[in-house]
Copies of this chain bind each other. A is one copy, B any other.
């Protein structure tokens, strides 16, 4: 039997609601992941749709095609940045769910909300490809990514507080995980004022997460090595 009533878990759901959970080996757990992985795969592949073939006059001219593609270089950079950004979230999601013993209705719904912002990302990406120098573009992109990271934290805390993890995390590991989820929010928030000075500099802020990740490993408490929240 896949669905299980959370015995004794009534205290967490104040309205007297009995929480239904689906175990790791249930069809329902698998479906949530199939759906999520499909949505990620599509969001990442749809990015290529914004790469439009340029119109040139002399169809044989290497020079003219090279120039036309060069003019669109921001679109290509945007494709690879967004593929990396969404890909990193997928790795984080993969890592997070590897810690779950079961899911509940709350995780299913929060995961949907999280996916709404993943599915939306191709739009800011297209904006970035076209109006790279516009500070507003950076703001929209940064807010979108910050919301995704924020939702990641919400999912993480739900799992910790509703007994969905294989092993409830000790407080220091939980705090470390939450910090790792929050850190991109900070770097993306930081990029917003920077965007009004220089959009290139703002985009570079987004990559501060990489050196930060290396540094943060020093503070990593024991038992946290399976967590990669991004």
Interface, chain A (partner B; CB < 8 A): 1-3, 17-18, 20, 22, 24, 27-51, 53, 56, 59-62, 65-66, 69, 79-80, 83-84, 87, 90-91, 94, 97-98, 105, 108-109, 112, 115-116, 119-120, 122-123, 126-127, 129-131, 133-137, 166, 225-226, 228
Chain copies in complex: 4
**Is A98 a contact of B133 with CB atoms below 8 Å?**
no
Docked complex Cα distance between A109 and B28 (Å): 21
Given contacts A3-B98, A39-B41, A44-B119, 16 further A-B contacts (CB under 8 A): A20-B226, A24-B27, A27-B29, A27-B30, A35-B37, A35-B40, A38-B41, A42-B42, A43-B48, A46-B48, A47-B119, A48-B120, A62-B134, A83-B116, A91-B108, A91-B112
**Is B136 a contact of A66 with CB atoms below 8 Å?**
yes
A154 to chain B, nearest CB (A): 16
**Is A116 a contact of B87 with CB atoms below 8 Å?**
yes
Chosen A-B contacts, 10 in total, with CB atoms closer than 8 Å, are A27-B33, A28-B98, A31-B37, A35-B41, A48-B120, A53-B126, A53-B131, A59-B131, A65-B136, A87-B116
A40 to chain B, nearest CB (A): 6
Which B-chain residue is minimally distant from A26 (CB atoms)? Answer: B98
A169 to chain B, nearest CB (A): 15
**Is A133 a contact of B31 with CB atoms below 8 Å?**
no
Residues on the B chain within 8 Å of A27, using CB: 24, 29-30, 33, 97-98
**Is A45 a contact of B119 with CB atoms below 8 Å?**
yes
Which B-chain residue is minimally distant from A113 (CB atoms)? Answer: B87
Docked complex Cα distance between A134 and B30 (Å): 41
Per a CB cutoff under 8 Å, which of B53, B80, B98, B129 touches A116?
B80
Docked complex Cα distance between A127 and B62 (Å): 13
Residues on the B chain within 8 Å of A18, using CB: 225
**Is B42 a contact of A41 with CB atoms below 8 Å?**
yes
Residues on the B chain within 8 Å of A116, using CB: 80, 83-84, 87
**Is B108 a contact of A48 with CB atoms below 8 Å?**
no
A178 to chain B, nearest CB (A): 20
**Is B37 a contact of A44 with CB atoms below 8 Å?**
no
